[in-house]
Amino acid sequence: MKYDVTVIGGGPSGLMAAISAAEYGAKTILIEKGNKLGNKLAISGGGRCNVTNRLPQEEVIKNIPGNGKFLYSAFSIFNNYDIIDYFENMGVALKEEDHGRMFPVSNSAKSVVDTLINKLKELNVHIHMNTPVTNIEYGEKVHNVHLKNGEYVQTKALVIAVGGKSVPHTGSTGDGYAWAKHAGHTITDLYPTEVALTSAEKFIHNRTLQGLSLRDIALTVLNKNNKPIITHQMDMVFTHFGISGPAVLRCSQFVVKEIMKGRQEISMSLDLLPGQAEDQLINHIFQLIDESPRKSFKNILKGIVPERLLDYLMKKSSINAEQNGANMSKGDIQLLVKNMKQFTFTVNGSLSIEKAFVTGGGVSIKEIVPNTMQSKIMHGLFFCGEILDIHGYTGGYNITSALVTGRLAGMNAALSDTLI
């Protein structure tokens, strides 16, 4: 089988690459080892498909802390606003939700995936499903892609879009790293990002706070000198193994990187009421006591923080929750407020890379041409999506990176001077 462009991987970046290559006139084949295309798109945004983010380009790049700046060149050709236009022009109406996240009006990921598959068919892209690639033989002018069924594809340009190692049930099992290495590429250290964190704290072990969700808190990762590395203000949840939820996922890569430096335990600080300064909160509590001095202190504080957490913090501060508010000392109140504003605990790791939403690390971006996604090492070879050492926060940023790099890889694979 002879093709101009071969795309391996039917995730967001692979679909976009195959469509782009075909739009630019290349005879294109898309090879997918699984039995479904667009698996990661189908589960993104809780099954509603968060296709991109409408924030200004500068903000989008800031939300891709893993080498997002590499995408400046790519964004000058095809960016998040182009993604919105692209889908809307194909008949997928989009709507904006919190933090700039863009979803299909249908609230169904299927509508996005089906539209892309229909586009592939319309452009006569040859789609081979259930077709694992066993080996890639790089040649001087053409590359041979060997398939498990014994056949091989001869191709002038090759796009590797097989994802990282996260969420392996979607097909991302790290196959592409060996093919990239074989071409001479460097694979930077792989690690989990956007992942839940584990803790050996007694209150985690005893499941004291298990299942407790906190809204709009500020969570900070502290360095070895107890100085802040990063803070995220979002929601979080205590679990049976540690902590999870949006704020935790965003902090996770910073924790993992500290552990990679050899630290065994990382301190985190939780501010339960980031909208109020400590002195404001202390004054507010004294005001509540003045209004109801005979009420138990616990009842006076009802509603300020969730009851189960309040009970825990009172015990931690050695405060008798049942005593009257009028009997509370200023020192006790200050200590409790400090624990509400700076509840510090340690984490000691994360769930595995397979359980992470995103893979950190990958094909070194130093070896990729930023405005074409072409390899600087091997002719006719392109990379896109999560196999690259680029990663963002959840919220449409990783899919934006996948679609943008996919668009460029497919287009430039079709335009490269190596074609038949």
d(CA 166, CA 359): 6
- Considering only CA atoms, which of 73, 139, 67, 123 is closest in space to residue 364? 67
pLDDT in tens, the chain (420 residues): 999 999 999 999 999 999 999 999 999 999 999 999 998 888 888 889 999 999 999 999 999 999 999 999 999 999 999 999 999 999 999 999 988 999 999 999 999 999 999 999 999 999 999 999 999 999 998 999 999 999 999 999 999 999 999 888 888 889 999 999 999 999 999 999 999 999 999 999 999 999 999 999 999 999 999 999 999 999 999 999 999 999 999 999 999 999 999 999 999 999 999 999 999 999 998 898 888 888 888 888 888 999 999 999 988 888 887 888 778 888 988 999 999 999 999 999 999 999 999 999 999 999 999 999 999 999 999 999 999 999 999 889 999 999 999 999 999 999 986 443
Q: Domains in the chain, ordered, with CATH?
A: 2-190+356-415 (3.50.50.60), 196-350 (no CATH)
d(CA 263, CA 67): 23
CB 165 within 8 A of CB 172: yes
d(CA 280, CA 313): 19
Pairing type for strands 242-244 and 101-104 reads unpaired
d(CA 356, CA 378): 31
Q: Report pTM.
A: 0.92
- Considering only CA atoms, which of 215, 211, 210 is closest in space to residue 305? 215
Q: What per-residue confidence (pLDDT) applies to 44?
A: 84
Count the neighbouring beta carbons within 10 Å of the beta carbon of residue 150. Answer: 7
